């Protein structure tokens, strides 16, 4: 059986930046000496960055769709 670090569940929250300051400090102090967590961080970071880009693009697309909405609604109402 492979070694499972008890902090493995914390890696996702750390990479997403949702840990509180105390948890963040505690996890960083642990991760410095934990190859398992360092590997998890390295694996998750590109995915989180990609999700952040997708989120930004989705918000931008929604904003454009919403800004066109009144015109379309007015057109449909006048019919
Ligand atoms: Zn660890």
CA 47–ligand 1 middle distance (angstroms): 19
65 in any annotated domain: yes
How far is the CA of 22 from the CAs of 8, 29, 33, 34, 51, in angstroms?
A: 17, 11, 18, 18, 25
With respect to residue 2, please indicate whether it lies within any of the assigned structural domains: no
Q: What is the pLDDT of residue 68?
A: 82
Domain membership of residue 1 (yes or no) is no
Stronger pLDDT, 53 or 71, i.e. the higher one: 53
| Helix pair 8-16, 35-77: axis angle to 10 deg | 50
Distance 37 CA to ligand 1 centre (A): 4
- Helix residue ranges per DSSP H, the chain: 8-16, 21-31, 35-77
User: Does 49 reside within a domain?
Assistant: yes
Burial code (b: 16+ CB inside 10 Å, e: under 16) for 14-52 equals: bbeeebeeeeeeebeeebeebebbeebbeeeeeeeeeee
Enclosing domain of residue 40: 8-77
Within-domain flag for 19: yes
Q: How far is the CA of 6 from the centre of ligand 1 (A)?
A: 6
14-57 pLDDT per residue, tens: 999 999 999 999 999 999 999 999 999 999 999 999 998 999 99
Task: Note whether residue 26 is domain-resident.
Answer: yes
- What separation in Å is there between the alpha carbon of 62 and the centre of ligand 1? 39
pLDDT of residue 70: 67
pLDDT at 4: 82
CATH number at 21 reads 1.10.10.1320
In total, how many domains does the chain have? 1
């Amino acid at each position: 059986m492979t070694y499972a670090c008890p902090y493995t569940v914390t890696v996702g929250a750390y990479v997403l930046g949702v840990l509180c300051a105390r948890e963040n400090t505690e996890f960083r102090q642990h991760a410095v000496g934990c190859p398992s967590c360092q590997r998890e961080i390295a694996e998750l970071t590109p995915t989180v960055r990609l999700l952040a880009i997708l989120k930004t693009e989705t918000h931008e697309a929604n904003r454009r769709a919403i800004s066109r909405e009144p015109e379309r609604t007015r057109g449909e109402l006048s019919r």
